Structures are given as structure tokens and as C-alpha cells.
Amino acid sequence: MHVVFNEKDTILQGVAHLDVALSLDCGQAFRWKRCEDGAFQGVAMGKFLRITQKDDTVTLYNVSKEDYEAVWKVYFDLDRDYEKILSSYTDESLVKACRAFPGIRILKQDEWEAICSFIISANNNIPRIKGIIERLCECFGEKLENGYAFPSAEVISKLTVEDLAPIRSGFRAKYIIDAAQKLSSGEVDIEKIKHLPFSEAKAELLKIKGVGEKVAQCVLLYGFGRHEAFPVDVWVKRILSELYPEGFPEEYYETQGIAQQYLFHWRRSSAFCE
């Protein structure tokens, strides 16, 4: 991959294993919108981004070299060798899933945003998750030039369940507030979690109300970049019972979160029945 910085934009040429649309809209992040012209726009890491892709050329508009290096290169996981990872998958179903939707990358999202987003995801569907998060940002996030930042844990920690009524998150409101309070008080420490072994990191997240096994796995995968995390929702549960009744192959442990994302998207799509 070749990266070009012109006066305004950052352009990636010869990109391999990156499908921007698929990665931004496969159920791991909830704040991206597809524009009528096919571009994607959204806010992540406190910054607005407009991004387009044509074949193996990706353009990040109004992105400086500094922002690319510090933010978006990390967010899109561009330093990881997906060719190497995907080619290590020899399992028949997994190969099918990867071939059906090549280019999905595991986004490295903000840790707090991932915690909050996946608390909201509990017993919920993706369109409604997006709506709740959008209202959360519009009501309590900092206004940017384009859109709103994700509100900080500090801001949310001072709110009540009644304050959150406008976002219509239902029974999850009390969990959002509990998470914000535990994070802003330091009872749950993101910096500490980053350096803990997997099971201990998960145990820290489980201290938050509304965070159970599945949400914790999602947070570790999408917020902390822990690719050994393996979230099991209803779709992955179907995959496991249908295709891996003896359990998911252990040989893929280190990257099983990536495998899981391909399988999740494949099982939800019509391609699965073909």
C-alpha cells in the first residue's frame, strides 16, 4: 500500500484487504452513514471523517498526515497483515465466509465508545442501536464542525436515567450511567485494562452493570483490539451449532475475533444460503 498526502487529503493506493463500506457497516461500529454518492461519513475518535473507495484506492478527505498516522491508520487497523491472517484459515466454512466478503477489518474504536455502544446493543437490533447512539451524541456530545463527538464518560456520569429519556435506550439507560460512573471514578480503568491478560481484562469490564460475557467480548475486540475475543450473539450461536458442534477450532485462537466477524456477516447475509 502506498500513502499519498496532498495539500488536503490522504490517499491510500493499492490497498489490500480493505473494504471500507463493509468494515464500517458490518455491525461493529454504529456511527457511519453512507451518503448518496457512496461515500461514508461519520465521527470517530472525536474527529469527523468523509471517506471514499474506488477499487484499491481509498481517499480520506481533509485528513492530514498527522491525523492519518495518529488516528485513522490505527482505526482501520492498516498496519496488520490481513493477507497473512486470512490465508491461515483453512477451515472450509471460514474460507467461504472470507471469500464472500473480503475486506472486512476489525476497527480499533475508542474504548469508552465501545463499552457504551455494546451496552446499548444488548437485546437490540442494529438499526435501533444506531438511532440510540445518534441521539446520545446529539444530546450530550460536543458539537463539531460536522456532527457531534461521542459524549465523554465524565459528562454521562453526571446524568440521571431521566436525563437519558430522550435517547430512548429503554432499560439500558441505568447501565450506561453505571458504566460512565465507574470509568470516570477510576473504579474501572481503561489504561489498566489495556495491559491486563485477556481474562483479567474481561473481569474488569464485567464490573460494569449491563456488561456480561458477550458485551465484554465485543468491547475487548472492537475497543481494545484484542483479536482473541470471540463474541457469541444469536447469529454466531447459530453458526456454532450448525457448523462447529464440537466447538470453534482452537488453532485460530489468536485471531478468532476476526474469524468471528467474517462468520457473523456471512451468516446474516443471503450469501450463506447459496
Q: Which is nearer to DNA, 156 or 208 (CB)?
A: 208
State how far the Cα of 226 lies from the Cα of 219, in Å rounded to an integer. 9
Beta carbon of residue 47, minimum distance to DNA (angstroms, whole number): 23
Residue 127, strand partner residues: none
- Whether 214 is catalytic is yes
Q: Which is nearer to DNA, 68 or 89 (CB)?
A: 89
Q: Which is nearer to DNA, 17 or 105 (CB)?
A: 105
- Phi then psi for residue 54, to 5 deg, are -135, 110
State how far the Cα of 45 lies from the Cα of 108, in Å rounded to an integer. 10
Beta carbon of residue 265, minimum distance to DNA (angstroms, whole number): 7
Exactly one of 130, 182, 202, 214 is catalytic; which is it?
214
Beta carbon of residue 188, minimum distance to DNA (angstroms, whole number): 12
B/e letters for 47-81, b = 16+ CB within 10 Å, e = fewer, are bbbbbbbeeeebbbeebeeebbeebbbebbbbebe
- The angle at the Cα of 199, spanning 198 to 204, to the nearest 5 degrees, equals 100
Residues that bind DNA (CB under 7 A): 26-28, 118, 121-129, 131, 165, 168-171, 208-216, 218, 231-236, 260-261, 264, 268
What is the grid cell recorded at 41?
461519513
Beta carbon of residue 178, minimum distance to DNA (angstroms, whole number): 9
Alpha-carbon torsion, ordered 226, 227, 232, 235, to 10 deg? 130
Beta carbon of residue 264, minimum distance to DNA (angstroms, whole number): 4
Helices and strands in the chain, H and E counts: 14, 6
Q: Which is nearer to DNA, 18 or 236 (CB)?
A: 236
Q: Which is nearer to DNA, 38 or 212 (CB)?
A: 212
Alpha-carbon separation of residue 67 from 8, 72, 74 (angstroms): 11, 7, 10
What's the half-sphere exposure (Cβ side, CA atoms, 13 Å) at 229? 25
Provide DSSP, 15-37: --S--HHHHHTSSS----EE-TT
Q: Which is nearer to DNA, 142 or 200 (CB)?
A: 200
Beta carbon of residue 55, minimum distance to DNA (angstroms, whole number): 25
Report the catalytic residues.
Answer: 214
